[in-house]
Amino acid sequence: MSTIGDVAKHAGVSRSTVSYALSGKRAISEETRARIERAIAELGFTPNAGARALKTAETMVLGLMLEFHADEFAPAMLQYVLPVSQAARELGYDILMVTDPDGPKAVHRIADSDMVDGIVLLDVTAADPRLPSLRAVRKPAALIGLPSDTAGLDIVDLDFGEAARMLVDHLQALGHREIVLISPPHHVVERGGSYVWRFRDGAIERAARYGLQIHAYYGESRQPAIRRSVEAILDAHPAATGLIVHNDATVAALPTILRDRGVGVPDDLSVVSLYSRDFGEEFSLPFTAVESAADDLGRHAVAQLVRRITRSPDAGPPVVRFVPPVISDRGSTRHRRR
Amino acid sequence: MSTIGDVAKHAGVSRSTVSYALSGKRAISEETRARIERAIAELGFTPNAGARALKTAETMVLGLMLEFHADEFAPAMLQYVLPVSQAARELGYDILMVTDPDGPKAVHRIADSDMVDGIVLLDVTAADPRLPSLRAVRKPAALIGLPSDTAGLDIVDLDFGEAARMLVDHLQALGHREIVLISPPHHVVERGGSYVWRFRDGAIERAARYGLQIHAYYGESRQPAIRRSVEAILDAHPAATGLIVHNDATVAALPTILRDRGVGVPDDLSVVSLYSRDFGEEFSLPFTAVESAADDLGRHAVAQLVRRITRSPDAGPPVVRFVPPVISDRGSTRHRRR
DNA sequence: CTTCATCGTCGAACCGGTTCGAAAGCCCTG
DNA sequence: CAGGGCTTTCGAACCGGTTCGACGATGAAG
C-alpha cells in the first residue's frame, strides 16, 4: 500500500498539504488539490486506519457485544445484529463483533486498547457482569436491555410491562376469563433477564385488576422439552381460553403442537404473543402479537451511542428509553364462546 | 488511559524495556520484570491497538463480510457468524463484521485502510462481485461458498453434489420410484448461488442413473408463497412418495403445511432435507437430513485464513475443500408401500 | 511605499507503540 | 589485570497519519 508520503512525493507537495487536502481543514488551491487528487487516484491511496486512529483518538469502530448461551434461542438475539450494523455504517462506523464468553474481559480488551469508540451491549441482564467493566473503562456505551442499576448509562428497551398489559387488555376485552402465560425459561430469570419478570408482573397485575384468572408458567427453550411443557400446561387448564406466549422458542414450535392436539386457533384457543415482524415471517407465525421492534431498538441504541461519542460533553444526561409496544392483530383471537 | 511511557516512568525503566518485558523478545531480569508488572497492574495499562498495528502491520482483526438480501432467509446465514467469531477469538483475532450492501466497496474500505489482517467472505456466488476487489487488495481471504473462478483463493464449502447423491441413494434404497425436489428460490440461482445447481444437478443425474422419476422445482423463501408453492407441487405429483427439500425457509414451514394437508411423515411421504443441527433444533425439524455443518465450514475457513496470514510465504498453494456430507437419520423416511 | 491580513504551503512535533544498535556492568579467562 | 563475551538496559528511529506554528507571496489599506 502507498502512504501519504508517496502521494505527497508524487504530487510534489508536502505530507501535510495532502492531509489538509483530504480533510479540508485548511484552504488548498484548486490546482494543487487537483494534482493531489490525481496522485491519490493513480497510487490507489487509502489512509491507514491505525495511524489515523493513533493521532485522532477516533477509530470509527463500535463494539457490539453479545453472548450466546448454549441453552438459548439464537435467532432472537441475531435479530438485533443486522440493524445495529446497518445503523452504524450509515453513521460512518464499522462494527467489531465480540462474542467472547468472558464478557467483562472482552469489554476491557476492546476498550482499554482503544479498538473502539463506543460499545453496544446486547441482552443486558439485571446484574450484568459486564457493567462494572463498562463503568471502569472510559468509553461511551448503549445498552439494549434493562439492568437494575441504570446510573449513568444510556439504555433502550421495549416496555415489556406495558406490552403485557396490552395483551391482557386485548384478551379481557374479548371476554376471556381464564388465561395462561408462558414466560421464557426459568434459567433466564436466574441469569437476570429482567424482561421476563417485567412482562410477567405486568400481566399478573393487570389480570388481577380485572379479576381474570391467570396461570403463569416458565417455558422451555429446546425441543423436545418445549412440546412436553406446553402439553402439560394446556392439560392442566382445560378451561383456559386465552394463551399469552412470551417465549420465542415456544411460539416458534406452537403451531405444530397445537395442530397435533387438534386445538384450533382462534376457535378453540385465543393466542397472543410478543415477537418481531421478521421473526414472525421467518417462522411463519400467525399470531396476534406485540411487535418487539428489534430494528428500532438497535437503531436507537446506535444513534444514541454516536451522539455520546461525537459530543461527549454536552450530549445531555443519560437516557433510559422504553419503546412503546405496538400490537399487530393477525386474527389469532376471538370472542370467548358462551 | 495510560501509555507505555507512563508505565516506564512508574517502573523507572525505559519504554523499550517495558515493550520487551511485554513481548518477551529479549531477556529481562526477574527484578525489573516484577517492577514493570506491578506498574502495569497499578496503572491498568493496556497497549494501544492502533499504535501496535501501525508498527507491526498486524491488527489481529479479521473482516467478516456478509450481505443480507431482503428476500432471503436470515437465520441460515447467521449460522456461520457465531462459529467464525468463536474460532477467530480462539486464535487471538477479533471480528470486524461488515454488512455493507456495497460489498466490493466495503472490501476496499477495510482492506486498503489496513483495518484487518484477512477477510472471510460468506455466501460466495459464482460471479461474486466482491472477488475482483478481493484479488486487487493484498489481503489473504477465505471463502465459504464456491465461485466459478477459484484461482488463487482458499475456499471451503459443503459438497452439495455429493449431499444430493446421498439423499437420492437413501430414497432409492427404500424403494421409492418417484420423487420431488424443492430447491432454493430461483432468484438465488440468478444471483449465482452455485450450491443450488450443484445440489440439483447431483440429484437429477443420480436419479436418472437409477431410473428414478424426479420432479425438480425451485421453491420460495417467504410466506405465504411457500405454502402455495408446496401445495401446488404436491398436488401436481400425487404419486410421488419421496420429497427432497433443499430450501431452509420451506423446510422450516413444512411440518405445518404437511399437517394441514393431512400428510403423514413418513407413512404417506418420505421427507429428506439438508440443514444444520442447530437449525433443525431451532425450528424443531424432525427430518432425516444431511448436516450442513456450518460450524465446520466456519472454523475451517478461519483456520485456513489465519494460516495464510501467519505464514504467508509458505502456507502452500490455495486449497479448495469440499466438506463431505454426513447424513443424520431422524426417521422421516420409510420403505415405499406396495 | 511601507504595513498588515490573508492565502497556500511547508517543516516539525506528536500520537503510542516496536525494534535495532549500542552501551554499561558483570564475570571469566589467559 | 587487560580483554572478550554475556546479560540487561537504554536511546533513537520508525510506522503513517494529523496538526500547530511559521513563512513567503500576494493584495488591500493607510
The three-class DSSP label of residue A242 is: strand
Distance from CA(B21) to C1'(C19), angstroms, rounded: 13
Residue B314's pLDDT is: 75
Q: What is the pLDDT of residues A24-65, one digit of tens each?
A: 999 999 999 999 999 999 999 999 999 999 999 999 999 999
Per-residue confidence band for A242, with pLDDT thresholds at 50, 70 and 90: very high
Q: Please check the confidence at residue B313 and state whether its pLDDT lies above 80.
A: no
Q: Of B145, B140, B143, which Cα lies nearest the Cα of B76?
A: B145
Q: Domain A160-292 has what CATH class? A: alpha beta
Q: Average pLDDT for residues B299-307, to the nearest whole number? A: 96
What is the fold of B4-47?
434 Repressor (Amino-terminal Domain) (1.10.260)
How large is the average pLDDT for residues B120-132?
Answer: 95
Mean pLDDT calculated for residue range B5-19: 94
Rounded to the nearest angstrom, the minimum Cα separation between B252 and chain A is: 7
Q: What pLDDT is stored for residue A122 in this prediction? A: 95
- Model pLDDT for residues B188-227, shown as the tens digit of each residue: 999 899 999 999 999 999 999 999 999 999 999 888 899 9
Q: Are the beta carbons of B256 and A253 separated by less than 8 Å?
A: no
Domains A4-47 and A61-158+294-324 in one fold: no
pLDDT computed for residue B319 by the predictor = 93
Domain residue extents for chain A: 4-47, 61-158+294-324, 160-292
* pLDDT recorded at residue B19: 95
- Given an 8 Å threshold on Cβ–Cβ distance, is B94 in contact with A98? yes
Task: Write b or e for each residue in B235-250: b if 16 or more Cβ atoms lie within 10 A of its Cβ, otherwise e.
Answer: eeeeebbbbbbbbbbb
Distance B53 CA to D21 C1' (A): 30
Q: What's the CATH number of domain A61-158+294-324, 3.40.50.2300, 3.60.21.10, 3.40.120.10, 3.30.830.10?
A: 3.40.50.2300
Averaged pLDDT score across all residues of chain A: 92
CA nearest to B258 within chain A: A256
d(CA B285, CA B254): 9
Q: Determine whether the interchain pair B282/A114 forms a contact, defined as Cβ–Cβ distance below 8 Å.
A: no
pLDDT-based confidence at A333, cuts 50/70/90?
A: very high
Q: State the average pLDDT over residues A182-187.
A: 95
φ and ψ of B327, to 5 deg:
-95, 140
Please give the pLDDT value at position B91: 96
Helix (H, G, I), strand (E, B) or coil at A80: helix
Percent above pLDDT 70 for chain B = 99
B281 CB and strand D closer than 7 A: no
B69 three-state secondary structure: coil
Nucleotides of C under 7 A from a protein CB: 7-21
pLDDT of B338 strictly over 60: no
What would be the CATH architecture of the domain defined by B61-158+294-325? 3-Layer(aba) Sandwich (3.40)
Q: How many CB atoms lie within 10 A of CB B319?
A: 16
Smallest CA–CA distance, residue B60 to chain A, in Å, is 11
Q: Tell me the per-residue pLDDT of A73-122, one tens digit each, with 9 for 90 and over.
A: 777 777 899 999 999 999 999 999 999 999 999 999 999 999 999 999 99
Tens-place pLDDT, residues B29-40: 999 999 999 999
- The answer, yes or no, to whether residue A338 has pLDDT greater than 70, is no
On chain B, the residues whose CB falls within 8 A of the CB of A44 are: 112
| pLDDT at residue A276, rounded to an integer | 85
What are the distances in angstroms from CA B57 to CA A80, B116, B315? 33, 10, 19
Residue A181 backbone dihedrals phi, psi, to 5 degrees: -120, 130
Q: Mark the nucleotides of strand D covered by protein, meaning any atom under 7 Å from a CB.
A: 7-21
Q: Three cell numbers at B294?
A: 456450518
pLDDT band at A222 (very low <50, low <70, confident <90, very high): confident
Instruction: Determine the residue among A79, A86, A112 to mutate to test chain B binding: the one whose Cβ has the most chain B Cβ atoms within 10 Å.
Output: A112
Amino acid A329: pLDDT: 93
Residue-wise pLDDT tens digits, B322-333 = 999 999 999 999
Q: pLDDT confidence of A244, banded at 50, 70, 90?
A: very high
Q: Name chain B contacts of A47, Cβ cutoff 8 Å.
A: 113
Contact of A288 with A272, CB cutoff 8 Å: yes
At B222-280, the pLDDT tens digits run 888 999 999 999 999 999 999 999 999 899 889 888 988 989 888 999 999 999 888 88
To the nearest whole number, what is the mean pLDDT of chain B? 92
Q: Is the CB of B288 under 7 A from strand D?
A: no
